[in-house]
Structure 1
């Protein structure tokens, strides 16, 4: 896209090869718009964020947006006609769309490192850096979820102001699970217990659950275990007293931690979109793509996930793989996820959501091509399984579904200390790491100021995207240094685990 959009521009053709343009505002029927040497008259009203045809198409024609196919015309489409679900369909069918015989030659994109900028973070004993110094109360099983919440609530009152916060993150699993499903729950909980944003962790167990507390503790690194307390409620006289005593010990340790200047190489950012609309791939997602590039170039680690929402755009990531091995891993992960859909008797294209469609997104290919822009142009250096933590710097691709809560939790378990969450429809959701909500359009930011931290709709009204990216970058550094996000102010904090197996 262009670096800025004129205020007077009413529609945007993103790529010269596109067959459609996007309305930047509500446009009436019979509106005449100029594109290059030609003029298009709209045959119907076009809502903001929706598409209209720039040339006549016949049924079966590939329809291009972002310079790539977003599906095929399901009927004849006239120039100036609205293009949406009634005349455009996905071309993603079954697993074939994810079969790769080879990996394209890697396109290595370089950026000028930013070695000057710093933020004030908490450096942990293992060298990782947190953006918060909190006490987290986790539960090994859903049976004691409420107990964990009560312990955290009372502890937050008792120790107000001594640390950045005391919060419980609970779930309903940990028992009646088998095999990989149970192992995934254990792996994610262990990763959360070892997170850089915590100065201490209390894990509350029951005692008879499948996810035995001792087994969970044995998976933790010794350096992390020094700041962990745990007990089974079946084995103590009073779980509330035991919880209070454990928090007293943890707060006494964490209260000694202090922020210090840290380099951009110490930042780990999660890249997430939820409730996308027709503007997400034009404003908010490319905007945080600039941030991802800047962090990666400085030696930091951006993490991309939501694997079903890269179907149809995976080639853009494969081409940027750091090695053939990484490229093959990207292809294999996409193929694995498509098999997951097929094994459950579901079409791989069962996306976008109703809200996406209302906002102007028609097919999964269109959604994916907009979504992968969150990853900018950085080289993909690692592919991570669900619940796994980052193992090197540079752009990571993480296995997780598109579900907002599940994928955001996975990003944090992988090591993200800040989430950049773009949205066109809006959501109040928040997660354990500070979650910056970035609206794709200014109407959302205006209507939901308690949800939105940054308005990317400015790109539609003339602000150069690089200027907007610099403002967002400054907000990220302030957030990493302690400035609170809307989700933190609103108390919107939760986790969700990916349930993949049978329930006993």
Structure 2
């Protein structure tokens, strides 16, 4: 468990003091922090091989897959296993130097809620480096927000009209192909879901607020809102929950109240496309960027390469007074105090404490342990406990102060880093990031996934093998950080320039493959 008084930024160093990028592929393993009693294999290590200096007197006791851990010293039963400089659990049996450390001999130390103490904001000031782009080409909306795309979105109030929404989008894309071909409009997309009917209380409110966030999203140059008529999630109430909209760019109707909902929808789309045809990209400061940070299918290298890279981007965006949103509350468990030490003030600290403890109580109320994570895929990739996964996952938040805490379905309004309530599920949390205002998603992965969402979703691989096997999924290979002579700072600057290109219209793999969907968090009663 992380010490309560720790605000130390996690730094990744090799045993001889060189940075990870300076050693590159010449190093077969990595001691992430000088306090660590395990080394991470950066490539498969055969049984009986000597570990790299200064651990050459230790030999591997068995084959060690890439991303997995090997003990650097003898660890007694019950003693903590240290990675990233913090305990990631305790040994369940005696472990000898050179042995693999994984689920067979390491267990979590997490339990229930924790009392925390605020000791002031310990975040260091950030500065935006010279030489990086200060503008991107975006779509300035009437409410002042800036989109990275100009798309027409079809949002339905209830799952009963899912097929109607999809048919309208498909037929409109064919019928208005000529207007779409001129480049002013980036596409027509329906984002369907199974909810909106038979929901009560907070569950209904969550659905409504999530959809309201999408309706107000700046990447949607116009929105057709399609209802049925008899659902709990009434069309009028949904639109009332979306106050920050340009009504000239909204069309809506209930299918029960028109003769032909497809024909009515096509007519509405035609009207909206005429409005959108006048839109064009203009130079906008990078302070208008809103980036959502997400990881999915993580492996033992994710916290060392892809998540660390995204964390550097988070710091650059925060330094430029842009917005960064991080979610997946359960994947903060065991590492939450790193963020608490960076809360900008007492109020944000208390909100973060409530966020974490409320989510732990959500597990407890449902008779589930708070540490029911990592997933089978995570474990195959080398992650053992939730503490280990969390310490790697929070790298995506960089080192900026935590300026805002928001609940599920709400929108980020503060500059810098915002923490958003949400589960670890890829689709649910990525949709929540989009509804919170993210106009670009940075999604790191060590195992790979084709998932995509309404906002352009940049997939970043933690290892080069994945990038080579799945080029149709992966946009950027953070595994290249392990190559000889690679400079981590320059690498992150190159990646930032690439992200500016994406924000300015360069398409991502999910857009090229038309992998776009939403998922809504269902945690209440269904009638």
TM-score by length of 2: 0.94
State the alpha-carbon separation in 2 of the partners of residues 261 and 86 from structure 1.
55
Mapped pair 1:157 → 2:181: no
Mapped pair 1:135 → 2:152: yes
**Shift of residue 482 of structure 1?**
0.2
The residue aligned with 1:108 is 123
SS at match of 1:46: coil
The residue aligned with 1:244 is 266
- Superposition pairs of residues 56-455 of structure 1, within 5 angstroms: 56-93=74-111, 95-96=112-113, 99-113=114-128, 117-160=134-177, 161=180, 163-221=185-243, 223-455=245-477
State the alpha-carbon separation in 1 of the partners of residues 74 and 123 from structure 2.
37
SS at match of 1:138: strand
For residues 194-218 of structure 1, give each alpha carbon's deviation from its aligned partner in whole angstroms, at most 9, with x where no partner exists.
0010110001100000001011111
SS at match of 1:167: strand
**Shift of residue 3 of structure 1?**
4.5
The residue aligned with 1:44 is 62
For residues 64-113 of structure 1, give each alpha carbon's deviation from its aligned partner in whole angstroms, at most 9, with x where no partner exists.
000000000000000000000000000111x23xx224223211321213
State the alpha-carbon separation in 1 of the partners of residues 281 and 419 from structure 2.
29
Change (3 A) 1:283 1:222: closer
SS at match of 1:41: coil
**Shift of residue 385 of structure 1?**
0.5
Q: Is the 8 A contact 1:29 1:45 kept in 2?
A: yes
State the alpha-carbon separation in 2 of the partners of residues 288 and 155 from structure 1.
37
**Shift of residue 117 of structure 1?**
1.9
**Shift of residue 114 of structure 1?**
5.2
State the alpha-carbon separation in 1 of the partners of residues 24 and 503 from structure 2.
33
Could you tell me which runs of 5 or more consecutive residues in structure 2 were left unpaired when the two chains were aligned.
1-11, 13-18
The residue aligned with 1:470 is 493
Which residue of 508, 513, 516 maps to 1:485? 508
State the alpha-carbon separation in 2 of the partners of residues 229 and 102 from structure 1.
50
Could you tell me which runs of 5 or more consecutive residues in structure 1 were left unpaired when the two chains were aligned.
none
Q: Is the 8 A contact 1:3 1:466 kept in 2?
A: no
The residue aligned with 1:30 is 48
Q: Which moved more, 1:215-224 or 1:232-241?
A: 215-224
**Shift of residue 55 of structure 1?**
0.4
For residues 427-482 of structure 1, give each alpha carbon's deviation from its aligned partner in whole angstroms, at most 9, with x where no partner exists.
00000000000000000000000000000001112312212212211110010000
The residue aligned with 1:498 is 521
**Shift of residue 141 of structure 1?**
0.2
For residues 274-302 of structure 1, give each alpha carbon's deviation from its aligned partner in whole angstroms, at most 9, with x where no partner exists.
00000000000000100000000000001
For residues 216-238 of structure 1, give each alpha carbon's deviation from its aligned partner in whole angstroms, at most 9, with x where no partner exists.
11122264333111000000011
Q: Is the 8 A contact 2:290 2:437 kept in 1?
A: yes
4+ residue runs over 4 A deviation: none
What RMSD, in angstroms, separates the aligned Cα atoms of the two structures?
Answer: 1.1
SS at match of 1:39: coil
State the alpha-carbon separation in 2 of the partners of residues 287 and 458 from structure 1.
11
State the alpha-carbon separation in 1 of the partners of residues 505 and 464 from structure 2.
26
State the alpha-carbon separation in 1 of the partners of residues 259 and 56 from structure 2.
80
Q: Is the 8 A contact 1:114 1:298 kept in 2?
A: no
Change (3 A) 1:77 1:227: same
For residues 328-357 of structure 1, give each alpha carbon's deviation from its aligned partner in whole angstroms, at most 9, with x where no partner exists.
111110100000000000000000000000
SS at match of 2:246: helix
Q: Is the 8 A contact 1:30 1:44 kept in 2?
A: yes
**Shift of residue 159 of structure 1?**
2.2
Q: Is the 8 A contact 1:121 1:481 kept in 2?
A: yes
SS at match of 1:181: helix
Q: Is the 8 A contact 1:114 1:264 kept in 2?
A: no
